[in-house]
A and B are shown apart, each in its own frame.
Chain A
Amino acid sequence: MSKHGASKNGAHKSGPHKHGEGRHRAGGTPPGAGGAAGAGGAARAGRVPGAGRESVRLVVQTLLSRPRLLLRIAAWSAVEAAPAFVIGLAVAHAIEDGFAAGALRTGLAWLALLAGAWLLAAVGARQVVLAVAAVVEPFRDHLLTRVVAGSVRRAAAEGRPPGTAAVARANLQVELARDALAAVVTVVRSFVFTLAGVVLGMLALAPQVLVLVLPPFLAGLVLFLFSLPALARRQRAFLLADEETAEATGALVGGLRDIAACGAEDRAAADAGRRIDAQAAAGRKLALVTAVRTVALSAGGWAPVVAVLAGLPWLAGQGVGPAVVIGTLTYLTQSLIPAFSGFVEGLGVSAVRLGVALNRALEAAGPEPSPDAVAGPVPALAPPATGGVEVRLSGVTAAYGPHAAPVIDDLDLTVRPGDHLAVVGPSGIGKSTLAALIAGMLTPRAGTVLVGGVPAADVAPAARVLIPQEAYVFRGTVLENLCYLADAPEPVIAEAMAAVGTADLVRRLGGLRAELDPAALSAGERQLVALTRAYLAPAGLTVLDEATCHLDPAAEARAEEAFARRGGTLIVIAHRVSSAVRARRVLLMDGTRVRLGTHEELARTAPLYADLVGRWKPPGRDPEREFVP
């Protein structure tokens, strides 16, 4: 699940959701605030087994969880179906007892009754819309909450954000699911109540006509229900093909420069062409089943009309007059056929759309956490903050997949309480993986990671701090951002800002109470905020994972020295060699093995380290002499 859900990051910056903007649906359907349909979707449906069953379960649960609302919908639906019951009776009696009999008032009275039924139905229709809204709005909230919680939880579990395009698509799917659920509930209930109204009306008018009307109508209904699975399959295939084409076009447009540079135009055209052809084929197949659906619809709707006409002599023999026949035809053409047509459309299109959108949204949300998982592992006692805690890795191997080569292989490492360790090595060598292991965010394939004698994964989050390279700053006050990990009185905050070097920045931002706009801060400024936050946290272990890389060397030195003075165990994943010079001990990672020692020891004995240091010079010297051989 996780892999697919978070998969479409970055590869194409502008996802297909962008072009959904103009695809407004026709009037009559529920309000589409999303205003878009058809495009989008990160993962293809069907990749996750169980998502379909989960969708059905969720819809059923949504409907059944509020029985009083369902009753309300049913009651107002009955009111809305009043004309379906009255219309034929009113027309037949208006003609038979009124206009044809020369009694104009009687006729008009019946028509007034019909008009009254319509007005009543309008009130009912309004209440039905509101009741349906009361069902689907909580449904949307629930779904959105799951998507947000799932995305945040998974991003935290994987330690990296999914692409923004994937997030936007998941949000769009939530809106589509809401609109589709409203459409399905509306048409299905409208059909059921209209059918009931029409049958009751005919019973009241002339029960004989039911013999002529019901069999062909039911035949048409059964025909439609039989064609429904095929129709749903085609509709779904078309939606998916549409999404895939949009994705392929997005990838092509996003990679235009690279495709041209690689001379891969033909390959790209062939790729996109395959998707386009597949979509056209899906469109043609859908058109065919839609035509079949139209036949079923027409058969169910119009065959009763023909049956009534063919039965005219028999009806006449039963004493059924022409006005009653007109009433019957009015029932069919004004009530039953429109409701049946809406039903066919609703099940054939909206229900399929609901299924696809819901699958997508649930895929993006991931599985709902079990109650145990919500509670999390019982946090072990927080190791004491004073003096720091010991970190001990024994025989640790870590990899990013069962078939992947290990990033860290059989690593033994002990960091004494209060030690200051710098980790150096080329990028991609596994330094961040080591940080994640120590912070308990990654479970090793083999070996153990103990922090203060407790397995790293069980350590209370408050007992250790990891500040990653990409500093997290959110909309809120400066104070909220600084006290994200632990509350602190203002003098302590001022002290921390002075120590880390954030005081100037906070003054410029307008003080602790000022609102902070993450986008307005430079990468270095964000890191300063995150560092001050970590400094304020009373944790016995601090891991800085290239947390100072956007600072200039002087600012970096000031921040690191502040942490070193503060006490506690400090592990610095170094971005520059200067971090290693400041550390008490240095861990050198070079892929095949690791070396541990002081700066001087490693500079003497490890060629790679000597090479790194050789190219590094203390700041402040003339760059010319530094670089000219």
Chain B
Amino acid sequence: MRAADRLAARTVRHAGPWPAVLVVGVVGGAVLQLILPYALGKAIETLAAGGAAAASTGGAAAAGDRWLPICGLLVAGVVACEALGVWASGVTGAQASARLRRTVVAQVLGVGPAMTRHHTEGDLITRAGLNAEEVGRAPAAAVTAAGLLVPTVGGLIALALIDPWLPCALAAGLVLITWVLRTFLRDTTEVVGDYQRAQGDIAARLTDTLAGARTIAAAGTADRETGRVLAPLPRLRRHGMRLWRANARAGVRAGLVVPLLEVVVLGVGGWRLSQGDMTIGELYAAARYVVLGAGLSGALGQVGQLGRARAAADRLAGLLSEHPVGHGDRALPTGPGALEFRGVGVDLADRTGLNDISVTIPGGSATAVVGRSGTGKSLLAALAGRLLDPERGTILLDGVPLRELSRAELRRAVGYAFERPVLYSGADGTLADTISLGRPDDPGLDAVRAAARAACADDFVRRLPDGYDTPPANAPMSGGERQRLGLARAILQGERLLILDDATSSLDTVTEQQVSAALTGELGGRTRIIVAHRVTTALRADQVLWIDDGRIRACGRHDELWRDPEYRAVFQTASVPAAGQPAGSFPGQEAV
């Protein structure tokens, strides 16, 4: 928790003069608000006195003159302080949140993909968004909470000073308010749950239905499907009305407490007034102080917000304590792109890691990495281009350990293509930006198109509404088309080493062969590491690296390994089993 508090404190320190302005606005406004009822009461009393005096001399108006400008100044002060407080609170929150968000984004990028091993995507988005905002609002919440205590506590004290009976009535009422709020919370959570379940049901039905878009289009059943999706609507309406009724009930209770308190205090005060123990101005002030004093529940809410901000700061601090990936500053010597694993090992918490990986991949060669699912093939691919650092051993590219390379040098040398590439293109990016993501320099459209051609992506990109200028979000793409864009991106980037992690799995045989022909032909000379399930890939590779249970089972040519029935079994279990039929009986059967 200490780290979290430090983070919150740092947020306040970096906010410049605004927190100070906020304190002046909030606390100043609160103090003025506290004085105002007293001054108003005094002014009215003077009127009473003046009215009586007017009948005789008319001279007492001078006393009233003194309280009038004071009231005017107090009101002006309250207005100014409130406006100042609102402004400062908004600016402090905006600046602090922005600062925290930038820090979180930098940290997430610095730690890289390892971050997603400890945190889900949704969790990271929540921390960078909502949590950063909560912490950013912490200074304002703290000041506001403190500021609210002034009129609340002050109101109670003022009541006690006017008459000791009054705060007793008020205290009893406050207990009632908290009780009502607690009842309300208990009431609604259950109803809210029912309502959200009905919502979820509709959403799930809609998702199912939308997945069948083509079938529905062909069968002309869109209206029928709409009816099916909306079937839970009456249930939603029913729970919605229950929610409103619960809300109305609680609203009635909460809305009654403060006015009734005020009536009670007016009654008690009126009795004291008729006894001559209280003046008319004091009675007015007392009625106002009741309202101010009842603001305590609001102050409690602010304290609750502070608690949330502290919890949010804790979550941010947890995120910021992760170690970012460090890079060296070495450059690569000229070389063919030879990759060497020396005694490399990684442990994973939930599945098999890798152990004792020692292998040399000659520059310019094509190496197929095969093995059953979950044996560590993708892990090996991640290590080969330093998307992940090994816990043991070293990986060298052309003799230089990957850790010692500068980031720019490393990424210029190594290109990655994935089974499910995420086509990040930044804000307002186009498909051309997507393909050239790995190039800090602008390679130009010709180079982009050449890479796309090599990946067999040029044809379908040109058929899109705006060709290469189409934003990826506006380009509906099949898995195979995404893979081809991912391949183009890798081809444009990796000068020495291309790592294809199951990156052609959704391509048909013809396209896949065209791509691999391009990789060996015009793009030849680059080292290729290809994780694949297909026999043909292994067949075409210069060498096959067979991974089993986190270790290298064998390394050699496909035709040599094929004699081993266990090696053949790797390809049989890799295919998707179909219903009611023995799976993978025909390993060579390929898509057209």
Of the residues A164, A286, A439, contact of B90 by C-beta under 8 Å: A286
Given A30-B244, A321-B51, A284-B94 contact (CB < 8 Å): yes
Q: Is A230 an interface residue (CB 8 A)?
A: no
Q: Is B118 an interface residue (CB 8 A)?
A: no
Q: Which listed segment binds A: B75-83, B153-161, B164-172, B341-349?
A: B75-83
Residue among A30, A266, A403, A553 with the most chain B CB within 10 A? A403
Q: Using CB atoms, name the residue of chain A closest to B106.
A: A269
Contact in complex: A118, B233 (CB < 8 Å): no
How distant is A431 from chain B, measured CB to nearest CB, in Å?
A: 9
Contact in complex: B217, A156 (CB < 8 Å): yes
Given A26-B301, A322-B44, A470-B211, A401-B270 contact (CB < 8 Å): no
Contact in complex: A107, B274 (CB < 8 Å): yes
- Complexed CA–CA distance, A29 and B181 (Å): 14
Given A22-B126, A287-B87, A552-B585 contact (CB < 8 Å): yes
Contact in complex: B263, A274 (CB < 8 Å): no
Q: Which listed segment binds A: B332-340, B443-451, B546-554, B575-583?
A: B575-583
Please indicate the chain A residues that have their CB under 8 angstroms from the CB of B126 in the complex.
18-19, 21-22
Of the residues B102, B421, B465, contact of A273 by C-beta under 8 Å: B102
Contact in complex: A31, B192 (CB < 8 Å): yes
Q: Using CB atoms, name the residue of chain A closest to B98.
A: A280
How distant is A317 from chain B, measured CB to nearest CB, in Å?
A: 8
Q: Is A188 an interface residue (CB 8 A)?
A: no
Q: Is A510 an interface residue (CB 8 A)?
A: no
Contact in complex: B407, A279 (CB < 8 Å): no
Please indicate the chain A residues that have their CB under 8 angstroms from the CB of B588 in the complex.
617, 623, 626-627
Q: Which of B237-272 contact A (CB under 8 A)?
A: 237, 239-241, 243-249, 251-252, 254-256, 259-260, 262-263, 266-267, 270-271
Please indicate the chain A residues that have their CB under 8 angstroms from the CB of B462 in the complex.
404-405
- Complexed CA–CA distance, A215 and B585 (Å): 90
Q: Is B505 an interface residue (CB 8 A)?
A: no
Could you give, for residues 9-37 of chain A, a 1 whenever the CB lies within 8 Å of some chain B CB and a 0 otherwise? 11111101011111100110011011100
Contact in complex: B424, A555 (CB < 8 Å): no
Q: Which of B542-592 contact A (CB under 8 A)?
A: 559, 562, 568, 571, 576-583, 585-592
- Complexed CA–CA distance, A303 and B71 (Å): 11
- Complexed CA–CA distance, A144 and B467 (Å): 35
By size class, the interface of chain B is 35 or more
Of the residues A33, A122, A253, A579, contact of B243 by C-beta under 8 Å: A33
Q: Is B40 an interface residue (CB 8 A)?
A: yes
- Complexed CA–CA distance, A504 and B580 (Å): 7
- Complexed CA–CA distance, A442 and B367 (Å): 44
Please indicate the chain A residues that have their CB under 8 angstroms from the CB of B215 in the complex.
466-468, 471-472, 530
Contact in complex: A35, B192 (CB < 8 Å): yes
Q: Is A46 an interface residue (CB 8 A)?
A: no
Contact in complex: A474, B212 (CB < 8 Å): yes
Q: Which of A449-504 contact B (CB under 8 A)?
A: 460-462, 464-468, 470-475, 484-485, 501, 504
Contact in complex: B464, A252 (CB < 8 Å): no
Of the residues A400, A466, A624, contact of B463 by C-beta under 8 Å: A400
Q: Which listed segment binds B: A202-210, A353-361, A518-526, A594-602?
A: A518-526
Could you give, for residues 424-445 of chain A, a 1 whenever the CB lies within 8 Å of some chain B CB and a 0 otherwise? 1111100000001001010000
Q: Using CB atoms, name the residue of chain A closest to B127.
A: A19
Contact in complex: B280, A100 (CB < 8 Å): yes
Given A273-B102, A426-B510, A171-B202 contact (CB < 8 Å): yes
Q: Is A149 an interface residue (CB 8 A)?
A: yes
Q: Is B203 an interface residue (CB 8 A)?
A: yes
Of the residues A111, A303, A470, A524, contact of B266 by C-beta under 8 Å: A111
How distant is A231 from chain B, measured CB to nearest CB, in Å?
A: 12
Residue among B195, B270, B281 with the most chain A CB within 10 A? B270
Given A111-B267, A267-B426, A259-B109 contact (CB < 8 Å): yes
How distant is A98 from chain B, measured CB to nearest CB, in Å?
A: 7
Q: Using CB atoms, name the residue of chain A closest to B490.
A: A261
- Complexed CA–CA distance, A291 and B568 (Å): 74
- Complexed CA–CA distance, A498 and B15 (Å): 74
Contact in complex: B207, A19 (CB < 8 Å): no
Residue among A102, A119, A245, A402 with the most chain B CB within 10 A? A245
Q: Using CB atoms, name the residue of chain B closest to A578.
A: B589
- Complexed CA–CA distance, A458 and B78 (Å): 72
Q: Which of A167-187 contact B (CB under 8 A)?
A: 167-168, 171, 175
Q: Is B385 an interface residue (CB 8 A)?
A: yes
Q: Is A411 an interface residue (CB 8 A)?
A: no
Please indicate the chain A residues that have their CB under 8 angstroms from the CB of B460 in the complex.
428
Contact in complex: A424, B592 (CB < 8 Å): yes
Q: Is B489 an interface residue (CB 8 A)?
A: yes
Q: Is B89 an interface residue (CB 8 A)?
A: yes
Q: Is B440 an interface residue (CB 8 A)?
A: yes
Q: Is B146 an interface residue (CB 8 A)?
A: no
Please indicate the chain A residues that have their CB under 8 angstroms from the CB of B466 in the complex.
401, 403
Could you give, for residues 391-402 of chain A, a 1 whenever the CB lies within 8 Å of some chain B CB and a 0 otherwise? 000000001111
Please indicate the chain A residues that have their CB under 8 angstroms from the CB of B233 in the complex.
141, 144-145
Q: Is A115 an interface residue (CB 8 A)?
A: yes
Contact in complex: A125, B251 (CB < 8 Å): yes
Interface size on A, residues (CB 8 A): 218
Contact in complex: A313, B79 (CB < 8 Å): no
Q: Is B377 an interface residue (CB 8 A)?
A: no
Of the residues B95, B97, B507, contact of A427 by C-beta under 8 Å: B507
Could you give, for residues 207-250 of chain A, a 1 whenever the CB lies within 8 Å of some chain B CB and a 0 otherwise? 00000000000000000000000000000000000000110111
Of the residues B122, B240, B536, B583, contact of A140 by C-beta under 8 Å: B240
Contact in complex: A276, B105 (CB < 8 Å): yes
- Complexed CA–CA distance, A255 and B115 (Å): 12
Could you give, for residues 531-554 of chain A, a 1 whenever the CB lies within 8 Å of some chain B CB and a 0 otherwise? 000000000000101000111111
Residue among A33, A39, A330 with the most chain B CB within 10 A? A33
Could you give, for residues 276-291 of chain A, a 1 whenever the CB lies within 8 Å of some chain B CB and a 0 otherwise? 1101111110111011
How distant is A126 from chain B, measured CB to nearest CB, in Å?
A: 4
Given A160-B476, A262-B437, A277-B214 contact (CB < 8 Å): no
Q: Is A381 an interface residue (CB 8 A)?
A: no
- Complexed CA–CA distance, A23 and B131 (Å): 10
- Complexed CA–CA distance, A522 and B575 (Å): 13
How distant is A51 from chain B, measured CB to nearest CB, in Å?
A: 18
Please indicate the chain B residues that have their CB under 8 angstroms from the CB of A254 in the complex.
121, 422, 424
Please indicate the chain B residues that have their CB under 8 angstroms from the CB of A175 in the complex.
199
How distant is B198 from chain A, measured CB to nearest CB, in Å?
A: 9
Of the residues A14, A280, A312, contact of B64 by C-beta under 8 Å: A312
Of the residues A125, A325, A474, A543, contact of B209 by C-beta under 8 Å: A474
Q: Is A104 an interface residue (CB 8 A)?
A: yes
Q: Is B226 an interface residue (CB 8 A)?
A: yes
Q: Is A564 an interface residue (CB 8 A)?
A: no
Please indicate the chain B residues that have their CB under 8 angstroms from the CB of A137 in the complex.
237, 240-241, 244
- Complexed CA–CA distance, A121 and B252 (Å): 9
- Complexed CA–CA distance, A277 and B101 (Å): 10
Given A144-B233, A252-B109, A306-B86 contact (CB < 8 Å): no
Of the residues B213, B239, B464, B581, contact of A161 by C-beta under 8 Å: B213
Contact in complex: B270, A107 (CB < 8 Å): yes
Q: Is A62 an interface residue (CB 8 A)?
A: no
Q: Using CB atoms, name the residue of chain B closest to A440.
A: B218
How distant is A590 from chain B, measured CB to nearest CB, in Å?
A: 9
A-B pairs, 7 with minimum CB distance = A287-B90, A472-B212, A263-B411, A283-B94, A401-B465, A461-B220, A255-B424
Could you pull out 28 A-B pairs where Cβ atoms are within 8 angstroms? A11-B422, A99-B270, A130-B244, A132-B244, A141-B233, A145-B233, A156-B217, A161-B211, A167-B207, A249-B101, A256-B109, A259-B424, A291-B86, A306-B72, A313-B47, A313-B61, A326-B283, A426-B510, A426-B592, A427-B508, A461-B219, A470-B214, A504-B579, A549-B591, A608-B510, A612-B510, A619-B589, A620-B586
**Apart from A158-B476, A524-B579, 16 more pairs, CB < 8 Å:** A3-B474, A9-B476, A27-B181, A31-B243, A33-B195, A141-B233, A152-B206, A152-B209, A252-B108, A253-B108, A254-B422, A263-B493, A287-B89, A291-B87, A428-B480, A578-B589
